[in-house]
């Protein structure tokens, strides 16, 4: 393959695609032409010029290099001048003018031939660079005439599309390779070309005969040809490798986020047990009360019914708690919907309430982002909030329990819903502050250092920002801001 590529490149550089047999034929042809011209040379003074013509002819078909032609041209001029001197031509004015004329003609022909050879060599070099660049960057080029529905493409494009290099390019051929689901995308591109749009960009997939999928990125701009027709010139890139890498990265990030979420749930085990225990205890006491009301000589059915309703309500609460925990523990693809930020925060607080009590922390909650809807994956946002709260709780472990206040606030600012988690811990030194969101950065003995980095990627995935502010000795604040969805986007839900 490499050999073939090199061979093709050198052929391009020499300008001719000749096989050994063809090479011999060209030589024979050249010799036949040469002998034909020689046999027509009327006088021996024609010989130098004739020789030069032959050499130029052979140069045009790339059998002689530029330097060889210059040497032959100088040689011919030298021969002409020597003949002139040898034959005493300087005695005749006619001979002298004839010599000068012949030299001038030889020089002009040589100059013009060399110039055109240089231009064609330059063009060939450029073509070689272009072919090489296309191969290296997996980019091919194509031309398209919308009015004629005529398409042409480079050899690299044929390779990307996996057609034989000599296959005649056509729109149906291109469509036959396009993934059926992406056909409308490509057809929309053709329609844009028919409207003479200035930039056409299409990202679509190819479906290969063996079932492989390739991802293409194609863009084209129009050139106005001499006859007032639009011809599009475009580039075609095979972006399969980068798309696969992106998808693998996304999968790895989702898995990592899931692992850290489950880890945080482990840290919240006591809180969760308490959350589930509370309604169970309520069910227990209401059940006993119900039994007492029914065991009376005169059963009090009204009270018994009320006790039963409390049991049902507590059972519902318990199942709601387990539903939320299961949602956090489950690994599923992110699903963004319009959600109220305040609702998400309130639900999360339910999960960490016991954790706060356990750390003897007084919560101060101010949820002022009334009705602010954000496009969010509920579970992922809960994961971020839990992480910030657990960090804040751990940061306050070292201070006096009376000073342990955790402030959680939400508000709306400049079309963004903002959440702030502030603790009264020791604060964060400026050198640590700079590294907080770096993966695996931790100052804790058993820390993993992934929490904040995952929180930031989750918030960025939600098109938001996450940052921290702190002054040593005055606690720290972690804030995130998410864009607010417009009201008429209520039904928006996107699977990503
Ligand atoms: P981990 O908790 O496993 O260390 P994180 O990414 O959640 O990983 O946190 C990284 C580091 O950021 C912590 O080790 C800690 O030094 C610092 N940090 C995070 N939150 C706070 C906070 N509220 N106060 C002080 N330092 C914090």
Domain ends where: 99, 117, 134?
A: 134
Burial 226-265 (b: 16+ CB within 10 A, else e): eeeebbbebbbbbbbeebeeeeeeeeeebeebbebbeebb
Provide the pLDDT confidence category of residue 29 given band limits of 50, 70 and 90. Answer: low
Same domain, 30 and 123: yes
For every residue of 150-211, DSSP letters joined together read EEEE-HHHHHHHT--TTSPP-HHHHHHHB-GGGHHHHHHHHHHHHTT-S-EEEEEEEE-TTS
Residue whose CA lies nearest to ligand 1 atom number 17: 436
Same domain, 84 and 209: no
Q: Which atom of ligand 1 is nearest to the CA of 442?
A: 14
Q: How far is the CA of 396 from the centre of ligand 1 (A)?
A: 12
Q: Is the pLDDT of residue 188 over 50?
A: yes
pLDDT of residue 213: 94
Same domain, 193 and 99: no
Q: Give the CATH number for residue 425.
A: 3.30.565.10
Q: What percent of the chain is predicted at pLDDT more than 90? A: 38
Measured CA to CA, the distance from residue 190 to residue 213 in angstroms comes to 22
Name the one residue in this structure whose structure tokens are 């480079």.
154
The residue to mutate among 387, 391, 447, 471, having the most atoms of ligand 1 within 8 angstroms of its beta carbon, is 391
Same domain, 231 and 259: no
Same domain, 145 and 293: no
Residue 62, SS3 per DSSP: coil
CA angle at 90 for the pair 87 and 91, rounded to the nearest 5°? 90
pLDDT of residue 440: 87
**Does residue 452 have its Cβ closer than 6 Å to ligand 1?**
yes
**Does residue 423 have its Cβ closer than 6 Å to ligand 1?**
yes
Lowest mean pLDDT segment, chosen from 29-43, 171-185, 451-465: 29-43
Same domain, 285 and 217: no
Q: CA 469 from chain center: how many Å?
A: 32
Same domain, 167 and 148: yes
Same domain, 477 and 385: yes
Same domain, 234 and 249: no
* Cβ contact 426:473 at 8 Å: yes
Q: How far is the CA of 456 from the centre of ligand 1 (A)?
A: 13
Same domain, 369 and 456: yes
Same domain, 358 and 462: yes
pLDDT in tens, 95-149: 888 888 888 888 888 888 788 778 877 887 787 777 777 767 778 889 998 888 8
Same domain, 347 and 480: yes
Q: How far is the CA of 98 from the centre of ligand 1 (A)?
A: 96
**Mean pLDDT to the nearest integer, 156-163:** 92
Measured CA to CA, the distance from residue 2 to residue 7 in angstroms comes to 8
Domain ends where: 238, 256, 287?
A: 238
Provide the pLDDT confidence category of residue 490 given band limits of 50, 70 and 90. Answer: very low
Residue 17, SS3 per DSSP: coil
pLDDT in tens, 3-14: 334 444 444 444
pLDDT of residue 456: 92
Q: Which atom of ligand 1 is nearest to the CA of 449?
A: 8
* Cβ contact 384:339 at 8 Å: no
Q: How far is the CA of 252 from the centre of ligand 1 (A)?
A: 22
Q: Which range marks the domain in which residue 39 is found?
A: 2-134
Total structural domains within the chain: 4
pLDDT in tens, 397-454: 989 999 999 999 999 998 999 999 999 999 998 888 989 999 889 998 888 888 898 8
* Cβ contact 206:216 at 8 Å: yes
Q: Give the CATH number for residue 170.
A: 3.30.450.20
Q: How far is the CA of 386 from the centre of ligand 1 (A)?
A: 13
Q: Which atom of ligand 1 is nearest to the CA of 443?
A: 14
Residue whose CA lies nearest to ligand 1 atom number 26: 428
């Amino acid at each position: 393959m490499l050999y073939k590529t090199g061979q093709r490149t050198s052929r391009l550089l020499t300008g001719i695609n000749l096989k050994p047999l063809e090479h011999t034929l060209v030589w024979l042809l050249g010799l036949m032409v040469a002998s034909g011209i020689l046999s027509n040379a009327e006088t021996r003074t024609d010989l130098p010029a004739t020789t030069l013509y032959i050499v130029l002819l052979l140069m045009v078909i790339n059998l002689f290099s530029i330097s060889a032609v210059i040497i032959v041209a100088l040689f011919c001029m030298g021969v002409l001048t020597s003949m002139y001197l040898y034959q005493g031509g300087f005695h005749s004015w006619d001979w002298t003018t004839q010599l000068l004329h012949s030299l001038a003609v030889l020089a002009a022909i040589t100059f013009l031939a060399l110039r055109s050879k240089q231009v064609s060599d330059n063009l060939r070099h450029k073509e070689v660079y272009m072919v090489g660049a296309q191969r290296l960057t997996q980019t091919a080029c194509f031309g398209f005439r919308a009015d004629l529905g005529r398409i042409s493409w480079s050899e690299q494009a044929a390779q990307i599309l996996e057609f034989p290099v000599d296959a005649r390019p056509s729109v149906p051929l291109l469509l036959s390779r396009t993934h059926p689901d992406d056909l409308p995308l490509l057809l929309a591109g053709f329609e844009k070309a028919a409207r003479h749009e200035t930039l056409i960009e299409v990202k679509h997939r190819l479906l290969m005969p063996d079932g492989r999928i390739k991802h293409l990125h194609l863009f084209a701009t129009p050139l106005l040809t001499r006859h007032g027709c639009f011809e599009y010139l475009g580039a075609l890139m095979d972006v399969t490798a980068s798309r696969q890498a992106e998808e693998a990265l996304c999968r790895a990030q989702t898995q990592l986020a899931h692992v850290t979420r489950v880890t945080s749930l482990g840290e919240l085990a006591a809180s969760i047990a308490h959350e589930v225990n509370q309604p169970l205890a309520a069910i227990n006491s209401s059940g006993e009360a119900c039994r007492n009301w029914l065991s009376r000589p005169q059963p009090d059915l009204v009270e018994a019914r009320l006790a039963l309703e409390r049991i049902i309500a507590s059972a519902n609460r318990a199942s709601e708690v387990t539903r939320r925990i299961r949602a956090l523990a489950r690994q599923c693809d992110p699903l963004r919907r319009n959600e109220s930020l305040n609702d998400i925060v309130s639900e999360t607080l339910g999960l960490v309430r016991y954790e706060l009590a356990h750390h003897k922390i007084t919560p101060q909650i101010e949820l002022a982002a009334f009705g602010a809807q954000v496009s969010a994956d509920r579970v992922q946002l809960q994961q971020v909030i839990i992480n910030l709260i657990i960090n804040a709780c751990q940061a306050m472990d070292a201070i006096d329990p009376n000073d342990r206040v955790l402030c959680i606030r939400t508000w709306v600012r400049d079309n963004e819903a903002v959440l702030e988690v502030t603790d009264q811990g020791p604060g964060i030194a400026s050198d640590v502050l700079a590294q907080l969101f770096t993966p695996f950065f931790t100052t804790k003995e058993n820390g993993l250092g992934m929490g904040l980095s995952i929180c930031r990627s989750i918030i960025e995935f939600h098109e938001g920002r996450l940052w921290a502010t702190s002054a040593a000795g005055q606690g720290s604040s972690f804030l995130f801001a998410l864009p607010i969805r417009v009201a008429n986007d209520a039904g928006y839900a996107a699977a990503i």
